[in-house]
Structure 1
Amino acid sequence: MFWKRLTTVMVTTSFVRALLETHSSSSVRVRVTQQKSASEEPVFLSTLSTGDWFGEQALKGEDVRTANVTAVGDVTCLVVDRESFKQLIGGLDNMSNKMYESEEVKTRLEAEAAFFSNMSLSDVRVICTLGVGGFSRVELVQLKNDHSRSFAMKVLKKRHILDTSQQGHILSERRIMMEAHSPFTVRLYRTFRDSKYLYMLLEACLGGELWTLLRDRGSFDDSTTRFYAGCVVEALAFLHSRGIIYRDLKPENIILDHRGYAKLVDFGFAKKVGLGKKTWTFCGTPEYVAPEIILNKGHDVSADYWSLGILVFELLSGSPPFSESDPMKTYNIILRGIDMVEFPKKITKSAANLIKRLCRDNPSERLGNQKNGVKDIQKHKWFEGFNWDGIREGTLTPLFIPNVEGPLDTSNFDSFPEDTDEPPPDEESGWDLEF
């Protein structure tokens, strides 16, 4: 049954951080000098104090960089060498976001920003409703002076947001989406506000929700699942490279564009925590929540890789591995672990191996969260032969291409009745000024 689910010392190839005792006097320091040859005098480079660091450039490449670090007083220095650093996080040059930072892309984004900065609410007209959520309604809108262009307009009631204390989530959602210029995340072009509502002008993806397609088909085969999982992997790699955790991965939050490519939508639970940082907020959809979130141990980007494993299982089988009518029961069976789950025969051995390696109880053991990062997922046997360059460049043809006749074709979405609710009261306290 299908229903929508509602929803953390000589330095050569080393990096040194000086940790000075809190009771130390102000004279306690670490001096950094460099001596190019034995006949030359050391050249003073810098002085480190509490929390300072030196030598991070040595971690980026293979060059040997030498310096003398001399403690003056009672000082504790922590040192990490290049190899250990790579074992820990995979190096600084493995971020898979270079393709998004080309001059061509920057030029396009600048032109886009200029176009939308001159747009107002009066420039669009509402066509119909694409979806309804707990805090919002999503309408298909069309430009009045260019009928070939349509968008999705997310409309939120300001008073409802205030009454449920969701201001922080909404502001975070806006900031993150304005920054997320990935082909695998739905674009946010512009926001508006008035006395009653907030408006988010979004890219219109008229291929429909992945959840609807899964509901209608029951489950997907390996090839179809591999394509959608590949799109999600690219989206997560982009977000994670910017220190953003998505935290609400599920078929309901994946939408198809007219080509059949999958994109993440709804960033209400996403959070920018920074690279290598954790957060402790309890959030997500019960069937997809990682064990460290349930146990309040703090979570990072590895929670998204757990959810990726759950997603692959659900797309292949038609239902998630952990599911009960009561969320607390769902959490309990999640804590028992993926090894307690009986996999259906339709899930192949290589797919099962990928799922189990993504859903390890220990976040540090999860595929995607080890030294090679997301490359470990991309090189897994289940993805063998998959055209990663093709999916990034948009040249790979999906197995399912939705039928989209034009910019106003909503046939891939469920029908929703018109909004008959009374307009909400005005809310002008000012918390939403950045809209």
Structure 2
Amino acid sequence: MRTGLIKHSQYTDFLRSVPSFQSLPEDVLSKLADVLEETHYSDGDYIIRQGATGDTFFIISEGQSTQHSNSHSESVFISFLSSLCREDVRTASVTAVGDVTCLVIDRESFKQLIGGLDDVNSKQYDSDEVKAKLQAEADFFSSVSLSDFNIICTLGMGGFSRVELVQLKNDPNRSFALKVLKKRHILDTSQQGHILSERRIMMEAHSPFIIRLYRTFRDPKYLYMLLEACLGGELWTLLRDRGSFDDGTTRFYTGCVIEALAFLHSRGIIYRDLKPENIILDHRGYAKLVDFGFAKKVGLGKKTWTFCGTPEYVAPEIILNKGHDSSADCWSLGILVFELLSGSPPFSGSDPMKTYNIILRGIDMIEFPKKITKSAANLVKRLCRDNPSERLGNQKNGVKDIQKHKWFEGFNWDGLRQGTIDSPYTPTVDGPLDNSNFDYFPEDTDDPPPDEESGWDLEF
């Protein structure tokens, strides 16, 4: 990790010293630094040959070169070469003097990456009307306490928590999901950081495609997260019952996920746990992302090195510990599309290590089922490129490149954002307390000891 960071930092500094690049935002410089390749030359080797097409950009990071052309007899020593190449031909030759190391980027990669992360979704959530609504909501929830709710039943269980359906006592038509986390379990597994990060990210995630967190509570034994109740059930349950989805159905759910990821990525947040189990349906059948335990605010153009995620969905750079960013979510999106269309993910082994080895062989080694159309297969392969800088969604137009892909041709993105298009499946939800779209879970009988020592959750 340290070696990777030092090299990346050096490359970014080199790029920043190029006059043409000084106005580029930090995240774009960071992406360019990722795709620079080191090339070594010996004394007398041609770096650039006069008359060749200029489609590669060189930065000399070590050593010196000499420039000579037919029209200029004198040689000019240059220790730094910083001309971005256009499609024209080279007007001079450049050869190495002694050993030379160059950082090289080809024109195509450069064109793909120049352009910032598109802030596609910010605008629609920043109007005065929306701000006023959020303020009124915050005022209301700041005045409620745990004793204002009745527990109806359990909607789900996870490794650290269970989710209860609760009803507001003085307004029986309002129900919520209450996520209950055992403090002792969190402390024993050192998950404090993840839990606080989850809270911080979710409190700011005001997207119709992300489940809302309204407020949090705590007592000596538990932490509580009061969430929006989505009673349409998990997407995973629907997929399990149907076996697989057709193109139209998959397109709709993938569209919802893309909108959620666009919102997060434009704020420098990576999600890192995309899978059908973490996608839930509301009463209309629209999909929302839940469970932000692995989400992390890394900032635009920054990387993180934590190994986390579900084995079948983990990107190769996470397995190889090269550092990862929002492009890891683009990879997972490709895996999700494949699983929704076929019923199972493309990479899976009998244990995580076998799965990781299959992932490292690459998507081109996978045989696609006949039911996956050509354009859907093309989308999956372009999302699951081994090199993160080549992935759709991680280039200059960001998420727009995914939305403009042939597989989404004719899809009504505006209608999806406004909630005016019909979902492919409308769950039966008979009132605010209907839990029939969820599996049955027994009551939790394990009563943990009170946790008196921990001060880490004071801000919860």
TM bucket (normalised to shorter chain) is 0.7 to 0.9
Which residue identity lines up with residue 351 of structure 1 in the other structure? A
By how many angstroms is 1:356 displaced? 0.4
**Cα drift, residue 17 of structure 1:** 8.6
SS in 2 for 1:414: coil
Aligned pair 1:268/2:293, yes or no?
yes
Q: Following the alignment from structure 1 to structure 2, what is the Cα–Cα distance between the partners of residues 376 and 291?
A: 22
Task: Point out the more displaced range, 125-134 or 415-424.
Answer: 415-424
**1:202–1:255: structure 2 CA closer, same or farther, 3 Å change rule?**
same
- Distance of 2:82 and 2:188 partners within structure 1: 48
Distance 1:155 1:347, change over 3 A: same
What residue is the counterpart of 1:334 in the other structure?
A: 359
Alignment partner of 1:201 is 2:229: no
Whether the aligned pair in 2 keeps the contact of 1:159 and 1:426 (CA below 8 Å) is yes
1:424 and 2:422 matched: no
Matched to 2:309, the amino acid is: G
Answer yes or no: is 1:224 the counterpart of 2:249.
yes
Residue aligned with 2:447, SS: coil
Q: TM-score, normalised by structure 1?
A: 0.81
Q: Does 1:315 align with 2:340?
A: yes
Contact kept in structure 1, 2:305 and 2:321, CA below 8 Å: yes
1:290 equivalent in alignment to 2:315: yes
Post-superposition Cα deviations, 1:23-75, rounded to whole Å, max 9, x if no partner, equal xxxxxxx9xxxxxxxxxxxxxxxxxxxxxx97569x9xxxxxxxxxxxxxxxx
Superposition misfits of 4+ residues, deviation over 4 angstroms = 16-19, 53-57, 76-81, 83-87
Q: CA deviation at 1:93?
A: 5.6
Deviations 1:320-377 (A, max 9, x none): 0001121000000000000000100000000000000000000000000111110110
Please, which runs of 5 or more residues in structure 1 have no aligned partner?
A: 1-15, 20-29, 31-52, 60-75
Equivalent residue, structure 1, for 2:42 = none
Q: Is 417-426 or 100-109 further displaced after alignment?
A: 417-426
Distance in 2, matches of 1:346 and 1:364, equals: 29
Q: What is the aligned partner in structure 2 of residue 138 from structure 1? A: 163
Post-superposition offset of 1:410: 0.3
Q: Distance in 2 between matches of 1:207 and 1:363?
A: 34
| Contact 2:118 2:397 (8 Å CA) reproduced | no
Q: Once the two structures are superposed, what CA deviation does each residue of 1:152-186 show, in whole Å capped at 9, x if it has no partner?
A: 00000101100110100001000000011110000
Cα distance between partner residues in 2 of 1:327 and 1:361: 19
Relative to 1, partners in 2 of residues 1:325 and 1:319: Cα closer, same or farther, differing over 3 Å? same
In the alignment, structure 1 residue 258 sits paired with structure 2 residue 258:
no
Match of 1:71 in 2: none
How far 1:433 moved relative to its partner? 0.7
CA distance in 1, matches of 2:185, 2:173: 34
Evaluate the alpha carbon distance shift between residue 338 and residue 253 of structure 1 in structure 2; reply closer, same or farther with a 3 A threshold: same
Match for residue 239 of structure 1? 264
- What residue is the counterpart of 2:63 in the other structure? none
Residues 345 and 306 of structure 1, relative CA distance in 2, 3 Å threshold:
same
**1:175 counterpart SS class:** helix
Using the alignment, how far apart are the partners of 1:194 and 1:353 within structure 2? Answer: 51
For the 8 Å contact 1:343–1:352, the answer to whether it is kept is yes
Instruction: Give the structure 2 partner of residue 88 of structure 1.
Output: 113
CA distance in 2, matches of 1:386, 1:117: 40
SS of the counterpart of 2:422? coil
Q: How does 1:83-162 map to 2 (within 5 A)?
A: 87-88=112-113, 90-91=115-116, 94-162=119-187
Paired residues in the alignment total 374
Contact 1:209 1:256 in 2 (8 A): yes
Contact 1:259 1:402 in 2 (8 A): yes
What does residue 374 of structure 1 align with? Answer: 399
1:392 to 398, 417, 421: 417
User: Retained in 1: the 8 A contact 2:117–2:396?
Assistant: no
Partner of 1:42: none
Partner of residue 207, structure 2: 182
**Offset from partner CA, 1:100-154 (integer Å, 9 cap, x none):** 1122211111111011011111111110000111100100000000001000000
Match of 2:48? none
Distance apart, 1:426 and its partner CA: 2.4
Query: What's the RMSD between the two structures over aligned residues?
Result: 2.7
Matching residue's letter, 1:386:
F
- Are the equivalent residues in 2 in contact too, given 1:17–1:77 (CA < 8 A)? no
- Map Cα deviations across residues 265-323 of structure 1 (whole Å, 9 max, x no partner): 00000000001111011000000000000000000000000000000000000000001
Query: Cα–Cα, structure 1 residues 425 and 403, in superposed 2: closer, same or farther, change >3 Å?
Result: same
Partner of 1:406: helix, strand, or coil? coil
Provide closer, same or farther for how the CA distance between residues 385 and 129 of structure 1 changes in structure 2, counting only shifts above 3 A: same
Can you give the 5+ residue segments of structure 2 that lack an aligned partner in the other structure? Answer: 1-13, 28-79, 86-106
Q: Are 2:458 and 1:410 equivalent residues in the alignment?
A: no
Structure 2 counterparts to residues 22-61 of structure 1, below 5 A: none
The one of 222, 235, 247 aligned to 1:210: 235
Q: Does structure 1 retain, via aligned residues, the 8 Å contact 2:117–2:397? A: no
Residue 429 (structure 1) shift: 1.7
Answer whether contact 1:243 1:275 (CA < 8 A) is retained: yes
The equivalent of 2:9 in structure 1 is: none
C-alpha separation in 1, matches of 2:346 and 2:361: 12
**Residue 160 to residue 252, structure 1, CA distance change in 2 (3 Å):** same
CA contact (8 A) 1:89 1:373 kept: no
Cα pair 2:269 2:299 within 8 Å, conserved: yes
Q: Is the 8 A contact 1:89 1:372 kept in 2?
A: no
For residues 168-179 of structure 1, the aligned pairs below 5 Å read: 168-179=193-204
- State whether residues 236 and 246 of structure 1, in contact with CA within 8 Å, keep that contact through their aligned partners in structure 2: yes
Q: For 2:126, give the aligned amino acid.
A: E
Amino acid across the alignment from 2:237: T
SS of the residue aligned with 2:230? coil
Distance 1:427 1:376, change over 3 A: same
